[in-house]
Amino acid sequence: MSNDHPEPKILAVSTASPDYTYTTEEIRPYLNRWLATRSSTAAAAMEKISRSVQIDRRSCALPLDAIFEERTFEERNDSYIECAVDLAGRAFEKALAQSGVDACEIDFIVTTSCTGFMIPSLDAHLANRFGMKRELQRLPVLQMGCAGGTAGLIYATDYLKAYPDHKVAVISCELPSLTLQLGDCSMANVISAALFADGAACVILGARDELGPVIIDKQMTHIHDSAGVMGYRLTNGGLKIVLEKEVPDVIGENLDSIVAPFLARNGCSLASVGDMIFHPGSVKILERTESLLAPHGKNVDDSKAVLREHGNMSSATVLFILARAFERAHPVGDRGLMLSFGPGFMGHTLLLEWR
């Protein structure tokens, strides 16, 4: 586009954490008490896992006493609705302030979440709360899991190609603490309890004639025969985590075949890209990712920092990492690579360029 018609870019990235934040040392006694009377095997596994996840603190939608209280699926989901609207609203409000955009200027809102259920969806609640325009277009993305944040940006990019003068908000809000299944002592649930945390983030996109990151390419890659390795099952007790031990291997085996061709078609390589905005998943996944990046002189330090300071917040996590990159100064032409994996099993990639 010419200078008379600036191209759409990321105008702001905000994050929001619930008010209840705990160190791993504060959480560990709750985890131990939960499992001690149910399964000695699970209790021993939790003790080992909680000391190896490299997470210093996590935030929860409710106090720990409420998280570890026996509650019905209905009660937990009611908490999800109330807390999600509040936390997503806080992230949205911050991003609007940072971008100088008014809520009534937003033409398209994308919300991503997989840790609760509501009809009308989160975006409808936000539209009412912020007095957004009657002609607002809404897209709730409900089942993308950890890849939801990148998926939201992909959908926003496609929309802005059709309407380059419009403004878009992408809001990811996840409250996995409210999905904890107290009667489930499976390894998947133990890992989930040690790893996942609550958080929300918002990205505002629109045309503006100032330096900022433009999403110049995007791709969703389906990994065949791996649909069962990650997700949730809807049970009578709520959302039951599915998290198979093969997840790091599936990611490691497909990482290079996804990233290398994607970058090549854009005339670049890992060595020429600046920011690595990778959803961390877990320490094992980060180790596999670093083994690919190290020969190119790259690291996932931002991903490690977000995991350490916040835990895995599912779809919101990669936007927390994007926020760190967005805050740094970048020269014109600098590039960043976003990558996340989620249920399906899918790999989502985006290439950013500061213009």
Task: Choose one of 188, 207, 226: the last residue of a domain.
Answer: 207
- Whether residues 159 and 280 fall in one domain: no
pTM: 0.95
Helix (H) or strand (E) segment spanning residue 202: strand 199-207
CB contact set of 266 (below 8 Å; sequence gap of 6+) = 216, 217, 351
- Give the closest residue to 42 by CA, choosing from 176, 244, 188: 188
- Whether residues 294 and 198 fall in one domain: no
- Whether residues 195 and 262 fall in one domain: no
The predicted structure's pLDDT at residue 2 = 47
351 vs 355: CA distance, rounded Å: 13
- Whether residues 102 and 203 fall in one domain: yes
- Whether residues 93 and 42 fall in one domain: yes
Structure tokens at 38: 């149910």
Decide if 129 is inside a domain. yes
193 vs 31: CA distance, rounded Å: 8
Domain range for 130: 8-207
Separation of first and last alpha carbons in the chain: 11
List the chain pLDDT tens, one digit each, 355 residues. 445 678 999 999 999 999 999 999 999 999 999 998 888 898 899 988 888 889 999 999 999 999 999 999 999 999 999 999 999 999 999 999 999 999 999 999 999 999 999 999 999 999 999 999 999 999 999 989 999 999 999 999 999 999 999 999 999 999 999 999 999 999 999 999 999 999 999 999 999 999 999 999 999 999 998 888 889 999 998 999 998 888 888 988 888 899 999 999 999 999 999 999 999 888 888 888 888 888 888 889 999 999 999 999 999 999 999 999 999 999 999 999 999 999 989 999 999 999 9
What is the domain-level CATH number for residue 321?
3.40.47.10
- Whether residues 185 and 260 fall in one domain: no
Decide if 3 is inside a domain. no
Decide if 45 is inside a domain. yes
Decide if 77 is inside a domain. yes
- Whether residues 162 and 288 fall in one domain: no
- Whether residues 182 and 271 fall in one domain: no
Task: Tell how strand 168-174 and strand 199-207 pair up.
Answer: antiparallel
Task: Choose one of 174, 207, 240: the last residue of a domain.
Answer: 207
Q: Using alpha carbons, list the distances in angstroms from residue 18 to 63, 90, 188, 200.
A: 10, 10, 24, 9
- Whether residues 90 and 141 fall in one domain: yes
Task: Choose one of 169, 186, 207: the last residue of a domain.
Answer: 207
- Whether residues 41 and 57 fall in one domain: yes
Residue 120, preceding peptide bond in cis (omega within 30° of 0): yes
- Whether residues 225 and 203 fall in one domain: no
169 vs 103: CA distance, rounded Å: 9
CB contact set of 354 (below 8 Å; sequence gap of 6+) = 211, 212, 213, 214, 330, 331, 332, 333, 334, 335
The predicted structure's pLDDT at residue 181 = 92
Decide if 31 is inside a domain. yes
49 vs 47: CA distance, rounded Å: 6
Decide if 33 is inside a domain. yes
What's the chain's Rg over C-alpha atoms?
20
Count of structural domains within the chain: 2
CB contact set of 179 (below 8 Å; sequence gap of 6+) = 76, 115, 116, 192, 232, 238, 239, 241
Decide if 37 is inside a domain. yes
Decide if 19 is inside a domain. yes
Structure tokens at 238: 């709520």
- Whether residues 217 and 202 fall in one domain: no
